[in-house]
Structure formats: structure tokens, C-alpha cells
């Protein structure tokens, strides 16, 4: 409920015309006649959704307080819808106003009520002392009743949230938003700006990236953890995120405590580190987390998978001694190259960002951090540019700029060398001599954001994903109904072998069925006609070579297995 409280010399109003047709059914106690009240507190009132008879207590208490303060002789309850854009139902509003009138009268206050649901003319003279104009927002103390909307209002909201804003006229043919729609991979909705609705096929792609990531990280000795989505403000005060990135963070509350929706995985990882004592024998300790993070972006800059608010970061933190840092950095560089190579992305160049003006840590620490990063880059014979003063406030970093097969460059992978968060979180380990020491820490991400990475490779492949990640591996088509049993058997066998296989047994012409499957970029189209049934074979058309071959199903499975194993 919103109120504007005006202490006036006088107010005069008149109900001119019904604004609500059924107003007489809602209340018989409305008086539209001309009325003047002097020396009054006028309480302009808008009853909002969620207000109930419980709100009346607060409302009346508020009025009593102000009446006492300004020494008003009369009170006018004046329904005034313009104070809110979230108005409650008229029936509830009238009930609340009538109840408030009763309560105020009981408290021996002289009350008048302007009619609800009428267009009114009014004139008033505000006294102009410091307390003569007070606005208040009244929230009921408990038991808020949120009413379900009417059917009409629901239909209006549904129309509003169903609007698709994707204007494809200005997008390139290989734009991942167009491919995503054609292939039924993902979608976007105004209900969740900058967040992705993953459809089965798109989620398959994302899961494949994750599966591959897990395979390599397991091999390289990484652990994997998962930390909570919202965490107490105190944690973010320690890490520095609460104040430093305040405008780009989502905040929420729980039992009167402030919480932050995590914009980064690191602080949660620090807490996990601290749960057990560590010694030099645990190092290097490599801990991965595929964590959902949220960062506020202006809605105007959001763009498909490239710029999102919610995304998964393939984070990992490596805790080690200063001596181990260089070797570990080298391993991260190798792993990054391996992953990028798999997707045919080339490293265009890397940037080494050095100490910024505003930083924490001593000059000696920064000398060490920068020197170490430079040594590694030289040893790995990598082309790099120095980005002077562009490091994070807690450490220097290497940023990768990648080149896709279309010649575009992207920044994805990052490696940061941090000596500061371990200090902020008081991380320790025992060295060989049993002395307590501070570890150093590397933050690194290879895909960067899984969403963005997927957007890049979708455009690079033009939706023609290699078989090992493809959501549309095989489509089985029938020439006519008589082949259906055989074709279904082929489809089921491929499914049982673990492939992504779909069927089109419709009565469309075979030409049309092939065209549809091509639009969906199936790697292989399997056609079954009477000849194939007789010979116990299938006709296989390859998307990439365009070749059409007849073969036994078992040979086709062998071909698919080989292609998947080779990550082609």
C-alpha cells in the first residue's frame, strides 16, 4: 500500500462519474456528493496487490501517528490510484478502507471517506509546514495474501512474456541464434533476459563439452567441486566482490541477512580449501568447478550466447608453492591448447596484463608474478603482447585471443596468478619443515563461458557439428510405409548403440524428408526402401562428404564409432 499524507487547511471533493461500473455492488456505503472538510489530514491511498486486512493495522497506526504529530482535527481517507502501478482488486481496496474507517472511529478520530471507484474533482490547500507532506509505503507485518490474478490479466501477462524479440532480418545466416532456431537447440525469452533455455539438442552439446572437459581434467589430476549459488554477504566482503563489483551483482536476502548470487566461484572454493589442513604433499592441489555464475549486464548489450547474464564457467583453482607455479602454468597452457585444437580454434595471440595502478600486494610480489608469467610464455614460445597496467587488482593474467575458421578473434581462456586471495582468506599449508606457509593460487578457465564458447563453435561449424558432439547424428527415413518395420529396427539398434538417432516415417516425399534432415544438419541420413529391405542393407548419405553408400548396419555402426573416437 502506498500513501501520501497531506495536512491541509481544507479539502473539497465531488464524485463526478463512476469509474467502475459495478461499484454499487462492491459497496453500498459510497457517497459521491460534494463535501468539504477543514483542518484535516488527507490520506491519499493506493491499495496494492498483496495488501489485505492485515495491512489495515499498519495503515491505521501510521495515520494515528501522523495525526498526533501534526495535530490534525479530521482525517480524510482519499482513494488515489495514481500512487501505484501495482493496484490491488477494487473489492479488497474497499474492504480495507471501510475497515480502516471503523478502526479510526473506534480510536475517537473523526474520519471522512471520499468515494472509491469514481472520477473525482478535488481542491485542497496544503499547510506547507515540514510535516505537511509525508509519503509512506505500508507493508503488512505478516500473513501477506497474494491473490491469483484473473483470467484476463493472466492472458495479458502471457502475451507479454511470450513475445519473441529476435529480429532475424539483421542477423548473418550462420548466426548461432538462427542456427539455434532451425536446429531446435536453444531459445531466449523476455522472462529471463540474458539466460538460455536449453532444448534437448542444445543441452546435449553443452553436456558434451562438459564430458570432454571432465575427461581431460580427470587425466590431469584435477578434483571437481560444486559450491552454492547464493552465499552470505560476509564472504563477499572478505573477497572484495561486495564493494568492488556492486553494480554488476544480483543481491538477495534470507532471514534478514544479505546474500549475493555468485558472480564468481573463487570465494566458495576458498571455503572448501579451508575445511581441512593442508601440507606441501597435497600440492599442487587442482580443484575444478563448473559453476553457474550471474553478472548483471544492461539488457541492450545482451546478445544470444555471446553476452549473457547467467553462464557456466569452467573454473579451476590450482593451489601450490611459489616454486611449483611456473610448472603448473605450463601445464595449463598445454591443456588449453589441446582443448582449443580439438575444436579447430587457433590461438591468435595472448596478452599479458601487468600490475594496475590500484592493486594490493607488494612490489616484490608483483615482480615475481609478472616474471613467472613471462618466463612461461617464453618457454612455450608463445606470441604475446604486454598489456601494461591491465591486470586484476589481485594479480597479473594471461588472456587468450582465439581465431575461428571464419577469421574472427575471440577472448575466451584466461589464466590469473594470484597471491592476494590466499592472504585475504588466510589459506595456509605446512612445508617440509613443518612451518606454516601461504600458498599461491592460479585461477584459470579454458572455455571461459560454456555458453559463449558454444556460440562461437556453432557459428564456426555453421551448425554442422562433428559427430562426437553432434546432437543430430543420424536420421532414418523411409521410402514408403512397407519399409517401416525394417527402418524402426535400424533406428532402435542405432539407439541401443548409444547414438542420437531420430526418424521420419511420415508420408512426405523422400525429397522433402531429406531436405528437412539437411536443414537440421544431421551428420548421416539413412534411407530405407524396398531394395534395402531385400538386401538387408541401408543407404547412408554423409553430410560432410555428400557421398551416398549402401552398407550393412553393423558396418555403419563401426564407421560411426571410429568417427566419434577420433573426435571428428
Hey, which residues are catalytic here? 266, 295, 313, 315, 317, 397, 443
CA distances for 259 relative to 228, 251, 269, 296, 356, angstroms: 11, 6, 17, 15, 29
Q: Around Cβ 548, how many Cβ atoms within 10 Å?
A: 11
Specify whether the CB–CB gap between 220 and 335 falls below 8 A. yes
Question: Quick one: which segment of 89-97, 355-363, 379-387, 442-450 binds Zn ion (CB under 5 A)?
Answer: 442-450
Quickly list H helices, 240-302.
241-244, 266-273
H or E element in which residue 364 lies: helix 363-379
Q: Which is nearer to Zn ion, 266 or 540 (CB)?
A: 266
Out of 204, 295, 337, 443, the residue judged to bind Zn ion by CB under 5 A: 443
Interstrand relation of 133-137 and 2-18 (parallel, antiparallel or unpaired): antiparallel
Out of 92, 266, 309, 450, the residue judged to bind Zn ion by CB under 5 A: 266
Count the site residues for Zn ion by CB under 5 A: 2
Q: Tell me: does residue 491 bind Zn ion (CB under 5 A).
A: no
Minimum distance, C-beta of residue 490 to Zn ion, in the bound complex (Å): 48
Minimum distance, C-beta of residue 305 to Zn ion, in the bound complex (Å): 22
Minimum distance, C-beta of residue 266 to Zn ion, in the bound complex (Å): 3
Q: Which is nearer to Zn ion, 213 or 486 (CB)?
A: 213
Specify whether the CB–CB gap between 2 and 135 falls below 8 A. yes
Specify whether the CB–CB gap between 294 and 263 falls below 8 A. yes
Which three three-digit cell numbers place residue 506? Answer: 511420415
Minimum distance, C-beta of residue 359 to Zn ion, in the bound complex (Å): 17
Q: Which is nearer to Zn ion, 266 or 469 (CB)?
A: 266
- Alpha carbons within 13 angstroms on the beta-carbon side of residue 555 total 10
CA distances for 356 relative to 232, 244, 248, 268, 302, angstroms: 29, 15, 21, 26, 28
Give how far the C-alpha of residue 157 lies from the chain's centroid of Cα atoms, to the nearest Å: 21
Q: Which is nearer to Zn ion, 267 or 466 (CB)?
A: 267
d(CA 191, CA 163): 9
d(CA 95, CA 100): 9
Tell me which residues in 345-404 interact with Zn ion (CB under 5 A).
none
What are the residues whose beta carbons fall under 8 Å from the beta carbon of 337, sequence distance 6 or more? 347
Question: Quick one: which segment of 47-55, 201-209, 438-446, 520-528 binds Zn ion (CB under 5 A)?
Answer: 438-446
Specify whether the CB–CB gap between 42 and 6 falls below 8 A. yes
Minimum distance, C-beta of residue 311 to Zn ion, in the bound complex (Å): 15
Q: Which is nearer to Zn ion, 231 or 430 (CB)?
A: 231
- Closest CA relative to residue 142, chosen from 56, 237, 262: 56
Minimum distance, C-beta of residue 264 to Zn ion, in the bound complex (Å): 6
Q: Which is nearer to Zn ion, 443 or 521 (CB)?
A: 443
Question: Quick one: which segment of 149-157, 239-247, 262-270, 391-399 binds Zn ion (CB under 5 A)?
Answer: 262-270
Question: Quick one: which segment of 258-266, 372-380, 469-477, 526-534 binds Zn ion (CB under 5 A)?
Answer: 258-266
Minimum distance, C-beta of residue 94 to Zn ion, in the bound complex (Å): 56
Question: Quick one: which segment of 89-97, 118-126, 443-451, 544-552 binds Zn ion (CB under 5 A)?
Answer: 443-451
Contact track, Zn ion, 197-226, x by CB under 5 A: ------------------------------
Q: Around Cβ 52, how many Cβ atoms within 10 Å?
A: 18
Helix axes 484-496, 553-565, angle to 10 degrees: 30
Q: Which is nearer to Zn ion, 266 or 369 (CB)?
A: 266
Question: Quick one: which segment of 57-65, 204-212, 259-267, 363-371 binds Zn ion (CB under 5 A)?
Answer: 259-267
Q: Which is nearer to Zn ion, 201 or 444 (CB)?
A: 444
Residues that bind Zn ion (CB under 5 A): 266, 443
Amino acid at each position: 500500500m502506498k500513501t501520501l499524507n497531506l495536512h491541509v487547511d481544507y479539502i473539497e471533493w465531488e464524485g463526478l462519474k463512476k469509474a467502475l461500473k459495478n461499484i454499487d455492488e462492491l459497496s453500498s456505503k459510497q457517497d459521491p456528493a460534494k463535501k468539504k472538510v477543514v483542518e484535516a489530514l488527507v490520506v491519499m491511498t493506493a491499495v496494492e496487490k498483496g495488501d489485505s486486512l492485515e495491512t489495515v493495522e499498519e495503515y491505521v497506526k501510521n495515520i494515528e501517528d501522523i495525526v498526533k504529530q501534526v495535530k490534525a482535527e479530521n482525517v480524510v481517507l482519499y482513494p488515489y490510484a495514481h500512487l501505484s502501478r501495482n493496484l490491488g482488486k477494487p473489492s479488497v481496496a474497499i474492504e480495507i478502507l471501510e475497515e480502516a474507517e471503523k478502526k479510526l472511529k473506534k480510536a475517537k478520530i473523526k474520519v471522512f471517506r471520499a468515494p472509491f471507484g469514481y472520477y473525482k474533482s478535488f481542491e485542497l490547500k496544503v499547510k506547507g509546514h515540514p510535516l505537511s507532506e509525508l509519503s509512506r509505503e505500508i507493508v503488512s507485518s505478516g500473513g501477506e495474501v497474494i491473490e491469483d490474478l484473473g483470467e484476463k490479466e493472466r492472458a495479458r501477462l502471457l502475451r507479454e512474456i511470450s513475445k519473441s524479440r529476435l529480429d532475424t532480418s539483421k542477423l548473418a545466416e550462420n548466426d548461432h541464434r538462427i542456427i539455434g532456431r532451425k536446429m531446435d537447440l536453444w531459445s531466449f525469452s523476455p522472462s529471463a533476459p540474458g539466460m538460455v533455455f536449453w532444448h534437448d539438442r542444445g543441452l546435449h552439446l553443452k553436456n558434451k563439452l562438459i564430458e570432454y572437459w571432465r575427461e581431460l581434467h580427470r587425466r590431469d589430476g584435477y578434483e571437481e567441486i560444486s559450491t552454492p549459488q547464493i552465499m552470505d554477504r560476509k564472504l563477499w566482503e572478505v573477497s572484495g566482490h561486495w564493494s568492488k563489483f556492486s553494480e554488476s551483482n544480483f543481491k538477495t536476502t534470507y532471514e534478514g541477512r544479505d546474500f549475493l548470487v555468485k558472480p564468481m566461484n573463487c570465494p566458495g572454493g576458498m571455503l572448501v580449501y579451508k575445511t581441512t589442513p593442508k601440507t606441501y604433499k597435497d600440492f599442487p592441489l587442482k580443484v575444478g568447478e563448473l559453476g553457474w555464475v550471474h553478472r548483471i549486464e544492461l539488457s541492450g548489450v545482451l546478445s544470444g550466447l555471446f553476452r549473457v547474464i547467467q553462464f557456466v564457467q569452467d573454473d579451476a583453482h590450482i593451489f601450490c608453492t611459489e616454486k611449483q607455479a611456473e610448472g603448473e602454468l605450463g601445464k595449463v597452457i598445454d591443456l588449453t591448447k589441446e582443448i582449443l585444437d580439438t575444436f579447430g580454434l587457433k590461438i591468435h595471440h595472448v596478452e599479458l596484463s601487468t600490475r594496475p595502478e590500484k592493486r594490493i600486494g607488494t612490489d616484490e610480489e608483483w615482480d615475481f608474478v609478472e616474471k613467472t608469467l613471462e618466463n612461461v610464455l617464453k618457454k612455450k614460445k608463445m606470441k604475446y603482447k604486454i598489456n601494461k597496467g591491465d591486470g586484476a587488482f589481485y594479480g597479473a593474467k594471461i588472456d587468450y585471443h582465439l581465431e575461428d575458421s571464419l577469421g574472427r578473434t575471440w577472448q575466451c581462456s584466461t589464466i590469473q596468478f594470484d597471491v592476494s586471495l590466499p592472504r585475504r582468506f588466510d589459506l595456509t599449508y605446512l612445508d617440509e619443515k613443518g612451518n606454516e606457509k601461504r600458498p599461491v593460487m592460479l585461477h584459470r578457465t579454458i572455455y571461459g563461458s560454456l555458453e559463449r564458447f558454444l556460440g562461437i563453435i556453432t557459428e564456426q561449424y555453421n551448425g554442422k557439428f562433428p559427430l562426437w558432439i553432434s546432437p543430430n547424428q543420424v536420421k532414418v527415413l523411409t521410402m514408403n510405409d512397407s519399409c517401416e518395420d525394417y527402418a524402426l529396427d535400424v533406428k532402435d539398434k542405432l539407439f541401443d548403440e548409444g547414438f542420437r538417432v531420430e526418424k521420419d516415417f511420415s508420408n512426405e516425399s523422400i525429397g522433402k524428408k531429406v531436405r528437412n534432415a539437411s536443414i537440421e544438419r544431421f551428420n548421416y541420413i539413412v534411407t530405407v526402401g524396398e531394395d534395402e529391405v531385400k538386401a538387408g542393407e541401408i543407404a547412408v548419405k554423409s553430410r560432410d562428404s555428400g557421398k551416398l553408400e549402401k552398407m550393412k548396419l553393423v558396418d555403419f555402426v563401426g564407421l560411426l564409432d571410429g568417427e566419434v573416437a577420433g573426435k571428428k
